[in-house]
Amino acid sequence: MQPFEPQPSDQAGRQADPYAQQGGWVPAQNTPAASYAQQYTSGSYPSAPPAAYPAPYGSYPGVPVPPAPPQRQPRGLSPFGLPARHSWEIPMLVVVVVLTAFAYLIALVLLATGNFDQYVLAFAAAPLLLWFGRGVNYASQRVNGVKMSPTQFPEGYQMVVDAAARFGMAKVPDAYVVLGNGQINAFASGHGFRRYVVVYSDLFEIGGAAREPDALAFIIGHEVGHIAAGHTSYWRQLGMFLVPFLPIVGNSLIRAQEYTADNHGFCNRHTGASAAMGTLAAGKYMNRLVGFDEMADRAAVEKGFFVWMVNALSSHPVLTWRMWALRDRSRHGKLFLRPAPPAGAGVPAGGYASSYGQVPASPPKSAL
Ligand SMILES: [Zn+2]
């Protein structure tokens, strides 16, 4: 596809996804996965099972046939073809919100008793400070960012539209490109009822088109996923105001959110997961030298207290663990303890075959 050729308006993301029309789970209406999926289900995705499933064990006269167990497609953490929220995200959020509310009450009590310490004042003013900061951040994009549109960065614009449709969002977020100056980054935020995505220009490398379109679609899916999962809400961020003062607990919640967003990115364009991680690891030019499987394998090998600590203090899961989670779609990414292969499974020579990892095995590519 030529760099400036607009992608088909409603199918670009889905065509790249061979699992999109296969459903994901046999519906189990009372499971958390089902309730989460219902929030994001749009009319265009199948939410009902096929009319009949084959009896798994055959049937015998007089013996009731047990219901079919949940059948999981290779997409793993994408029930109904929709992304799953990390299992630890909501429990951690509850803990952080309770701690934040408690700290806020203490600040109010201290103020009422005449303590005008600057930290107490700052904390008591948190609702205002957050509102102000979000307003300034949004305004910066509105006056300095290049707003993606059908005529400006049309490829990225279409990816945002597709990702929003894919996640069943009622409104497409605004999207801006800002000068990256060599940095690889993107983020999502909001102000009031508005939501937006910001992508650094280095992710568009060739005349406004992505050097790695699949990687960009994964990254845009990740950022739009933050919005779809509610991470950019004012009230949520206010409830998490204490996060910078909670090094282990706070960062763990942020990491769980990142895994959730990665699940969205994977759902949006799973074929871009390895290139996106390679770009984060080695940059936009050398990403093709990164062996996704080779690096992911090290998640289970690198061990020790300091490895644990670097991850525990990070806002994003460390790259090797993140790659592991994107490859092993059968379970959620690890927050505290390094991942391990399934019980009884040794590490095969040359890493895990594609039957275990769901991102197609991607050996180091030649740079030539
Ligand atoms: Zn993120």
Distance CA 103, CA 126 (A): 11
Taking the centre of ligand 1 as the mean of its atom positions, its distance from the CA of residue 256, in whole angstroms, is 10
pLDDT digits (tens, 9 = 90+) for 159-185: 999 999 999 999 999 999 999 999 999
Mean pLDDT, rounded, for 62-75: 49
Stretch 324-347: mean pLDDT: 82
DSSP state of 80: G
Q: From ligand 1's centre to the CA of 138, what distance in Å?
A: 17
- Ligand 1 mean position, distance from CA 191 (Å): 18
Is pLDDT of 19 > 90? no
Per-residue model confidence (pLDDT) at position 61: 56
Looking up tokens 């991607």 gives: 362
What are the CB-based long-range contacts (under 8 Å, 24+) for 66-72?
A: 68/26, 69/26, 70/25, 70/26, 70/28, 71/25, 71/26, 72/24, 72/25, 72/330
Which has the higher per-residue pLDDT, 118 or 73? 118
> Which secondary structure element, helix H or strand E, spans residue 307, and what is its range?
helix 305-312
Question: 254 CA distance to ligand 1 centroid (A)?
Answer: 9
CA–centroid distance, residue 247 to ligand 1 (Å):
18
**Among 355, 218, 197, residue whose Cα is nearest residue 287:** 218
Q: Bigger pLDDT: 14 or 109? A: 109
Question: How much is the pLDDT for 67?
Answer: 53
- Per-residue pLDDT tens for 207-266? 888 989 999 999 999 999 999 999 999 999 999 999 999 989 999 999 999 999 999 999
Residue 353: its pLDDT value, please?
Answer: 40
Distance 280 CA to ligand 1 centre (A): 12
Residue 368 has pLDDT above 60, yes or no: no
Q: What is the 8-class DSSP label of residue 263?
A: H
Cα atoms found within 13 Å of the Cα of residue 332, Cβ hemisphere only:
19
- SS3 state at 198: strand
pLDDT for 158 beyond 70: yes
- Tokens at residue 343, please? 């019980």
CA 343 to centroid of ligand 1, rounded, Å: 30
102 vs 352, higher pLDDT: 102
The rounded Å distance from CA 265 to ligand 1 centre is 10
